[in-house]
Amino acid sequence: MSQTAATRNPGDRAALTTLFVAFLKVSICGFGGGLVWARRIVVEQTQWMSEQQFAETLTLCQLMPGPNVVGIAVCVGAKLRGAIGAITALAGFILLPWTVGLSLGALVLQYAQLAVLQNILHGLSAAAAGLLIATGIRLLLPHRARPVALLFATLAFAGMVFTKLPLLVVLLTLAPISIAATAFGGVRA
């Protein structure tokens, strides 16, 4: 890393290898909180983006479907080196971790019949499900004073869990109504 930084003039276009390694790091470190590491590397360490630019990019990514951190990788890569940069950052983020993760995971799953391992996996998935529920609840807290928001969160939950409708149907039904309600009803914070 330090060698790459020394051979590169500041303000020069970022080397593709640096970009690859940076997002490999985000991917490996980003356990449960990839965004924290993405900001640290992109804003503080490499200064590829200012704080303001990073915040705007994050806003953009939150507006789009898909994993937000992957979106950050694509946007940072695109900013620095265009399409090839986006692909490089993405490859750094996915290629190695995916290969290693799939191999390791497939190995573990081979032995999933073993009683001990099966029990461990059960405990893990029960805990991981809890983390997901808690994440949702935390996201909901800032909206707790808005009945409309609570209503639509409940409808989305019920639509998926109880009716077993496809997500596309649920979203195409609820999104326009929610947008209309937000546009007409609430200019309030």
Partner 1 sequence: MNIFSPSIVLAAHLAVLSSISFGGFPTVLPDVHNLTAANGWVTDREFANFFAVSQVVPGPNMILMMSFIGLKVGGIAGAIASALATFAPPCAMYFASYTLWDWFRDRPWQRIVRRALAPLTIGLVIAGGYVMARAADTGWPSVAITAAAVALMLRGRTNPLWILIAGGTLGGLGGL
Map the footprint of partner 1 across residues 117-156, applying CB under 8 A. Answer: 118-140, 143, 146, 148-156
Task: Give the residue with the Cβ less far from partner 1, 8 or 122.
Answer: 122
1 is written with which tokens? 């890393």
At 48, is the secondary structure helix, strand, or coil? Answer: coil
Footprint on residues 20-49 left by partner 1 (CB under 8 A)? 27-32
Buried b (16+ CB within 10 A) or exposed e, 18-38: bbbebbbbbbeebeeebeebb
Footprint on residues 70-109 left by partner 1 (CB under 8 A)? 70-71, 74-75, 78-79, 83, 86, 90, 93-94, 97-98, 100-102, 104-106, 108-109
The single residue among 1, 55, 145, 175 that binds partner 1, judged by CB under 8 A, is 175
Task: Give the residue with the Cβ less far from partner 1, 5 or 154.
Answer: 154
User: Residue with structure tokens 């620095």?
Assistant: 80
The single residue among 1, 5, 55, 64 that binds partner 1, judged by CB under 8 A, is 64
At 9, is the secondary structure helix, strand, or coil? Answer: coil
Task: Give the residue with the Cβ less far from partner 1, 5 or 158.
Answer: 158
Alpha carbons 66 and 34: distance in angstroms, whole number: 14
Task: Give the residue with the Cβ less far from partner 1, 15 or 170.
Answer: 170
Alpha carbons 80 and 16: distance in angstroms, whole number: 9
Alpha carbons 75 and 27: distance in angstroms, whole number: 15
